[in-house]
Amino acid sequence: MTTPATTTATSSIANEIQKQVSEKRPFSLSRFLKDRRFLYCVSLTAFFGIWKYIDYTQVLGNGIAAPDAVVAQIWKLANKTIAGKSLWGHIWASTYRIIIGFSIAAVIAVPLGVIMALNRYVNAIVKPVFDLIKPMPPFAWISCAILWFGIDEPSKIFIIVVGTFVPCLLNAYMGIRLIEPQLYDVIRMLGGNRKDEILQVGFPAAFPAIFAGLQISLSCAWTCVLSAELVSARSGLGFIIIQGMQLSRPAMVLAGMVVLAFVAWATTLLITGLEKKLCPWKREAVQM
Amino acid sequence: MAYETVKVDTPLVLRILPVASVVAFFGIWQGVVDFGIVPNTMLASPTQVAVLFWEKLFVADPDGAVLSVHAWVSIQEAFTGFFLSLLVGIPLGLMMGWFNVAEGLARPIFELIRPIPPVAWIPLTIFWFGIGIPGKVFIIWLSGIVPCVINSYVGVRMTSPTLIQMARTYGATDWEIFKKICIPSALPMVFGAMTISQAYCWTTLVGAEYLAADQGLGYLITMGRRLASPPMVVLGMICVGLTGVAIGIVIERLEKKLLAGIRR
Amino acid sequence: METSQEYKIDCQHISKTFVQKGTQRVHVLEDISVNVKNNEFLVILGPGQSGKSTLLRIIAGLETPSEGNVYLDGKEVSGPGADRGLVFQSYMLFPWKTVLGNVELGPKLRGISKNERREVAQHYIDLVGLKGFENHYPHQLSGGMKQRVGIARAYSNNPELMLLDEPFGQLDAQTRYFMEKETARIWETEKRTVLFVTNNIEEAIFLGDRILSLQGKLPGRMHAMYEVHLPRPREHTEMKFLELRQKITDASELTL
């Protein structure tokens, strides 16, 4: 047994050795060239440089806009309105659709997945139908959605619900199914009943998987909302992109894409942070 | 003998329920349309779809091609994009996992592009390639490459450090370790990427064909909507689903075969 | 069937057959009859794959025997219950609960008030020597500390019978030796009837009042019963300890 006192002592010694070593390292050119921050700078400079150069040489004709033109376009979009909405309005229009569609899907799919995993009769009834519907890409539903709901908000929300439903349900189902069965034994040995097994083991143990499902769903939701908006919309980031295409203005298309990437990235960051807060017991895995 | 093989039956109810559920699904679907609960302009019944399926095998009108041509075009595009993404994504991911320089150079660009849904590239590719096959292949390639890179990267990163240290004590160079230890140990993850990547490719393909195409299964769905023909929409959806499942099964078989070779 | 009240546990002619992976039938236990007196420390000794864990799980009520019956205080065991505490080989702590949360779970499930169960949990956390770690999560603890939590969790329900399933199998030799001493100490402090499953002969002699050894292949059969008449606390280097160890080693080699 290691007592806490000795562990801290040894680790602090290790830290000291580490520090000394790193301080003693002399500057060398090869190490500087292999430094990650330096490489990141090189990479980004090259990326934007080539982008600018492609625009400059007109290899792609008028099919591309230089990075500075895109930034200028974003600035312009932020300060004036398109189709009655500012850039913030369009961002909110897309986000709002995602929030509604995503919530509907999560509220139905997660409990359904949990119940399917816990009750084999429900599973036997729902799973075959789910397996029939699962392989349809969300995009394939757009036509149906338009036939059923017209081209207004409901059809876009429907697409998001359909697209996020599958990963939500699958992850909830697998999360419950992959629980170590002996954890249930612990509850039974401590005198718990079936309800305690589900409340004390089922939900908390499946929580990381359910959450992972929500994360996947969220990135699906962005694809879905964009697809729906590309097909028909009067607002949203997809609308900006498609407007740019119809007006043959690549700067506007790229501006839409950059803003979209940023917002999608921010939502992902938000939900990752939320996960860290909600399940502090989850250990780090190799991720990218 | 302590071990003996027996056959255990699943309860009868559990064998009947799935069949009953699928039959009920189609029954309700047929009923809902036949009795006019949902108007025929919004949904086609299974029998209507089946009839149209038979017709579309031989008749090119009104959308310009028979079903097999649509399917063949879609499969061609999907596989071209898929193989190109494997070809680029896997080596890139493997290199990024092992070589600091490769990661330092590729990572920022990858992170910049990753959050953009592949569908968002459609307008740009129309500027660049028109609505022909290259544009669609490009978009499919973009969507397929992300899981390839991520899985290969993680696969290399998960290589047991003990194995690497062992190789170092025997005097192996970085390149040898990469070749002889990191790649083989990453292979299960890499093959896992194939399944994910294929699914992404197929999903994106429908999107790409939706916006820019004159042939393909996604185009069939769009035409169905434009012609206000629910049977064609449903037929297109079913074909997309079935073809996707078929490709998925093929890839999974392939993956199992390749993995069995490694484990041996 | 009749059973005597004087035994805490009475197993009569237990056999067990499993169906594995849907198609494979495995015969695990064959005609085991054993009884345990009140406050006795019985060790079930056997090599891997001898069905000893299954026997423990049957007594715990987590598995039903294919043949035979288990009686606890003269009543037939029909399912798991709070009157028995089980400690698992792979700890089986709840990773989302702190040490305190894990230990107080038993009383919590029985509906005991917060203050009271905190008190009970604290008592057993102190007993197993984890004072100061109440708010740590299991992944922050070493293997030995995790198993201390496992033991405290089983004790906190105040069970009449403690079942330990190779509890120290995943620990390194030194920690294991230390934990054996701790187990003996805890048992001396709070006497319980204990069933302890192990594959380690020294551990068996160090802890047990009696040792039931099983044959080394499936199906598991009773091989021998040894009585350990050594004063506690025991020493691994005592002459009598070593003699008994030699005796058991010789006997079990014959069965392999």
Identify whether A168 is part of a domain. yes
ipTM of the complex: 0.83
pLDDT for residue C197: 92
Q: Which of A11-15, B240-244, C163-167 has the lowest mean pLDDT?
A: A11-15
Query: Is B51 in the same domain as B16?
Result: no
Say whether the peptide bond before residue A280 is cis (omega within 30 degrees of 0). Answer: no
Query: Is B223 in the same domain as B175?
Result: yes
Structure tokens at A190: 């401590």
pLDDT for residue C179: 85
pLDDT for residue C76: 87
Domain count, chain B: 2
Mean pLDDT within C137-158: 88
Average pLDDT across chain C, whole number: 86
pLDDT for residue A12: 35
Identify whether A41 is part of a domain. no
CATH numbers and ranges of domains, chain C: 1-83+200-256 (3.40.50.300)
Tokens 């959050």 belong to: B115
In chain B, what residues touch A223 (CB-CB under 8 Å)? 117-119, 203, 207
Among candidate residues B195, B172, B197, the one with its CA nearest the CA of residue B85: B197
Around Cβ A104, how many Cβ atoms within 10 Å? 16
Separation between Cα atoms, residue C211 and residue C225, nearest integer Å: 6
Percentage of the residues of chain A whose pLDDT score is greater than 90: 18
A64 at the B interface (CB within 8 A)? yes
Residues 201-230 of chain B with CB under 8 A from chain A are: 202-203, 205-207, 210-211, 218, 221-222, 224-225, 228, 230
Query: Is B111 in the same domain as B13?
Result: no
Query: Is B187 in the same domain as B252?
Result: yes
Contact A182 C132 (CB under 8 A): no
pLDDT for residue B159: 87
Around Cβ A87, how many Cβ atoms within 10 Å? 21
Q: How does residue A18 score in pLDDT terms, banded at 50, 70 and 90?
A: very low
Identify whether B101 is part of a domain. yes
Query: Is B37 in the same domain as B51?
Result: no
Mean pLDDT within C149-177: 88
C51 at the B interface (CB within 8 A)? no
Q: How does residue A191 score in pLDDT terms, banded at 50, 70 and 90?
A: confident
Identify whether B3 is part of a domain. no
CATH of the domain at B177: 1.10.3720.10
Query: Is B71 in the same domain as B15?
Result: no
Domain with A148, as residue range(s), is: 91-239
Residues 99-128 of chain C with CB under 8 A from chain B are: none
B107 at the A interface (CB within 8 A)? yes
In this complex, which of A148, A256, A286 lies closest to B154 when CB atoms are compared? A286
Asked whether the beta carbons of B118 and B55 are under 8 A apart, the reply is no
CA distance to A192, C87, C184, per residue, from C152 (Å)? 17, 9, 14
- H or E element that contains C75: strand C75-76
Say whether the peptide bond before residue C95 is cis (omega within 30 degrees of 0). Answer: no
pLDDT for residue B205: 86
pLDDT for residue A113: 93
Q: State pLDDT tens for residues C58-89.
A: 999 888 888 888 988 888 888 888 888 899 98
pLDDT for residue C99: 92
- The amino acid at residue A72 is A
Tokens 């079942």 belong to: C163
Identify whether B2 is part of a domain. no
Rounded to a whole number, what is the distance in Å from the CA of A188 to chain C's nearest CA? 6
Among candidate residues A248, A228, A250, A249, the one with its CA nearest the CA of residue A239: A228
Query: Is B205 in the same domain as B82?
Result: yes
Identify whether A75 is part of a domain. no
Collect all residues with Cβ–Cβ distance below 8 Å to B179 and sequence separation of at least 6. none
Identify whether A216 is part of a domain. yes
Main-chain phi, psi angles of B212, to 5 degrees: -150, 90
Higher pLDDT, residue A204 or C217? A204
Radius of gyration of chain A (CA): 25
> Taking CA A93 as the corner, what is the angle to CA A90 and CA A94, rounded to the nearest 5 degrees?
95
Sites in chain B below the pLDDT cut of 70: 1-9, 212, 261-264
- Per-residue H/E/C for B172-224: CCHHHHHHHHHHHHHHHHHHHHHHHHHHHHHHHHHHHHHHCCCCCHHHHHHHH
pLDDT for residue B8: 64
Query: Is B83 in the same domain as B198?
Result: yes
In sequence order, the β-bridge partners of residue C12 are C69
Contact B3 C219 (CB under 8 A): no
Identify whether A12 is part of a domain. no
CATH of the domain at A169: 1.10.3720.10
Domain with B177, as residue range(s), is: 45-263
pLDDT for residue B95: 92
Identify whether A112 is part of a domain. yes
Strand order in the sheet with C193-198: C84-87, C161-165, C193-198, C41-45, C210-214, C222-227
pLDDT at residue C191 is higher than 80: yes
Query: Is B122 in the same domain as B209?
Result: yes
Identify whether A205 is part of a domain. yes
Query: Is B207 in the same domain as B241?
Result: yes
C242 at the B interface (CB within 8 A)? no
Contact C178 A205 (CB under 8 A): no
- State the pTM of this model: 0.82
pLDDT at residue A2 is higher than 50: no
Contact A281 C139 (CB under 8 A): yes
